[in-house]
A and B are shown apart, each in its own frame.
Chain A
Amino acid sequence: MARRPILGLFDDANAAADAGDGLRRAGIPETDVDFLTDTPYPEGAFGEREEPHRLYIFPFIGALLGLTSGILLTSMTQVAYPIVTGGKPILSIPPMAVVCYEGTMLGAILFTVLGIIFESRLPKLKAGLYDTRITEGYVGVLVNTEEAQHNTVEGVFGQTGAVDVKRE
């Protein structure tokens, strides 16, 4: 049977957290439940599972690429136009260090930003089940599950005080 989303809308974050508990008790796997909010709540506030991510790898890769480009750029431009200035060696390490440093940091930051977008699974081209009241402070409990379970889910939403329930 097809999996379809169902969204319960709560005007109170505690009620939404209770709905999360209710869904767990009703046998809905944690991975199928998501909480949509307009502000970050501390991790675990809804009793949700910890979200693993690999963001920390991105800056390292970026830094490495940035450093490599920095070294190539600075060494090649010096060697390609070898003119002695100020009595400094043609391949001067201290000035190279400065530009390489900037390259490293730029690479790290660019890749971190890419990582954030990628790990957040953005951009999301196809709009999912959503309600604009979420940015007005409502909490959405989004359950992506078998259609057969929708009545159970709706029951839990009803018991915990959902103000609205939406289906696709």
Chain B
Amino acid sequence: MASSVEHQTGGHGHHAGMWVFPRKENIAPDVAGKTFSMPSGYKLALGIAFILAVLGVVGFFIRATSDGFGSPGPWGYYAGIFSFVFMVTGAAPLVACAFRFTKSHWRRPLSRVSELFAIMGVVNIFLFIPLLLAMPSIKNPEVQGTDLEVRRTLWFEVPIGAPYTWDILCFVGLALCSMAILWLSAVPDMAQARATATGFRRSLYNGLSGWWYGTKRQWNHQKAGLALLGAFYFMLLIFVQFIFITEFAMSMVPFWKDSVLPPMYTVMSFQSALSMILIVMFIMRRWGGYEGYIGKAPFWSASKILLGLTLLWTYHLFAFFVTYWYGRLEVEQNILKYVFVQPYLIVFLANMLFSFLVPFALLIWNPLRRSAWGPPLAGLAALVGAFLFNMRTFAAAFNTGNHYEFSLSHVPAAVWPDIWDIFIILGGLGIAALVYLLSAKLLPLISIWEVKEGTLYQKMGTLMKGEYLVLAKPE
């Protein structure tokens, strides 16, 4: 779908189409038009996402009724898909915050794409609850008064409310913070659309942004607020990821004491969130009519970061591997065999292929990174890798057998997904897609005020005989 609005592009030679300079006065009506319309392709995507979501719900109910929540084993793949969805959607809003913090102009078209994932954060709370039910209790029901009385968990002496209350609070806090970021960022756009929007959008926009008039003071407060909330979200996210991966993966496997696992999970979440955003932007640019807002520059700039994150993830994995391999204690070898080289070997190898080898092999090439399709393709591979990582890790963690043992004395067999697990996995992906597609009709996919602000600070300029991008930085 071609854009109906005239835009300028900048760059020549291998920089052709690198930058786009939308006309400031056209941005708001054009983006509003795209947000309020519902093309047939979009309807089809919504339909597919809905069907997948229904499959997921069916799978979930059958799992719950046939296996119940008595033991964690049957819920391994549920945990895996939840972790994948949480990994991507939890970290996604941070991408906007991070590049706003570094004052990168190229981030402007991706800000809202990233922040809209906040809405999925609310849904994540509900998807998380079954996991709490399936988790084995910290106290060993069969043994009293010895060292084996409690499992190894990060709650040590089991404070009041642990783990359920604290876990839920973590996810609620995270969702609230990301929703606050989305709201504060979207306020100027909603305020602008108050007059033109109709129906439920009009009342929503009025309710959420009625106080906004765009005074200098309001802009200052909004920017400071976004910076503060961004910093807070960053710290909160890392904390919640640490709690989640430790609670639902590490502490389920006896003696798995792995201090690099939380940072590794966090790095992978950044890698997969950035990948997801690049894919959404590619779709918007290719089929959504947003080519006037999204040049190649965001892909080019983000690709270097994606490459860095890909290497960083592999580095963290090696740090874990080599430490355990060197230890050569029996339990360490059992854990290595269990999570890497024996029952789930094929998944592990595929995980490495997609999380490291494919993105790395693609992203080291300049022409590919400079294209609009190269980085999203690498991103797609990284997402497949992250998916496999979560499936492997949680299927293994939930099926270790006796979670109260002090060390892993044998290598348990692999548990592969059954039909209901596949339903649940498809459902998880479907729900996330459905929520995002609906969110994108609620609020514009382009942060209008940020792109408008960008037009002030970026233009093509002439230096002697050449034409180059001029980037202004106000502070």
- On A, residues with C-beta under 8 Å from B are 13-14, 17, 20-21, 41-47, 50, 56, 86-88, 94, 97-98
15 pairs from A and B in contact (CB 8 Å cutoff): A20-B465, A41-B464, A42-B468, A44-B465, A44-B466, A45-B464, A45-B465, A47-B465, A50-B13, A87-B328, A88-B328, A94-B322, A94-B325, A94-B326, A98-B322
- On B, residues with C-beta under 8 Å from A are 13, 318, 321-322, 325-326, 328, 366, 463-466, 468
Q: Which chain B residue lies CB-closest to A21?
A: B465
Query: What 9 additional pairs, Cβ within 8 angstroms, besides A17-B464, A17-B465, A44-B466?
Result: A13-B464, A41-B464, A42-B463, A42-B468, A43-B466, A46-B465, A47-B464, A86-B326, A94-B325
Residues of A within 8 A of B325 (CB): 94
A17 to B463, CA, bound (A): 10
A41 to B466, CA, bound (A): 10
Residues of A within 8 A of B468 (CB): 42
With A86-B328, A87-B328 in contact, do A47 and B466 touch (Cβ < 8 Å)?
Answer: yes
Residues of A within 8 A of B326 (CB): 86, 88, 94
Q: Which chain A residue lies CB-closest to B467?
A: A44
* Chain B min CB distance to A56 (Å): 8
Residues of A within 8 A of B465 (CB): 17, 20-21, 44-47
Q: Which chain B residue lies CB-closest to A41?
A: B464
Residues of A within 8 A of B366 (CB): 56
Residues of B within 8 A of A44 (CB): 465-466
Q: Which chain A residue lies CB-closest to B462?
A: A45
Residues of A within 8 A of B463 (CB): 41-42, 45
Residues of A within 8 A of B322 (CB): 94, 98
A46 to B464, CA, bound (A): 7
* Chain B min CB distance to A97 (Å): 8
Interface centre among B13, B322, B466 (most CB of A within 10 A): B466
A98 to B319, CA, bound (A): 11
Cβ B328 vs Cβ A45 within 8 A: no
Q: Which chain A residue lies CB-closest to B463?
A: A45
Residues of A within 8 A of B321 (CB): 94
With A50-B13, A94-B321, A94-B322 in contact, do A42 and B466 touch (Cβ < 8 Å)?
Answer: yes
Residues of B within 8 A of A88 (CB): 326, 328
* Chain B min CB distance to A152 (Å): 21
* Chain A min CB distance to B368 (Å): 13
Give the 5 A-B residue pairs with the shortest CB-CB distance, closest first.
Answer: A47-B465, A44-B466, A45-B464, A17-B464, A45-B466
* Chain A min CB distance to B466 (Å): 4
A157 to B198, CA, bound (A): 67
Q: Which chain A residue lies CB-closest to B13?
A: A50
A91 to B318, CA, bound (A): 18
A97 to B321, CA, bound (A): 12
* Chain A min CB distance to B459 (Å): 16
Residues of B within 8 A of A14 (CB): 464
A17 to B465, CA, bound (A): 7
Residues of B within 8 A of A17 (CB): 464-465
* Chain A min CB distance to B116 (Å): 37
A56 to B322, CA, bound (A): 32
* Chain A min CB distance to B325 (Å): 5
* Chain B min CB distance to A101 (Å): 9
A43 to B468, CA, bound (A): 10
* Chain B min CB distance to A89 (Å): 11
* Chain A min CB distance to B203 (Å): 52
A82 to B326, CA, bound (A): 18
A41 to B464, CA, bound (A): 10
* Chain B min CB distance to A94 (Å): 5
Residues of B within 8 A of A41 (CB): 463-464
A43 to B15, CA, bound (A): 12
A45 to B322, CA, bound (A): 50
Q: Which chain B residue lies CB-closest to A98?
A: B322
* Chain A min CB distance to B370 (Å): 14
A44 to B14, CA, bound (A): 13
* Chain B min CB distance to A52 (Å): 12
* Chain A min CB distance to B315 (Å): 11
* Chain B min CB distance to A18 (Å): 9
A43 to B467, CA, bound (A): 10
Residues of B within 8 A of A47 (CB): 464-466
Q: Which chain A residue lies CB-closest to B324?
A: A94
A45 to B326, CA, bound (A): 56
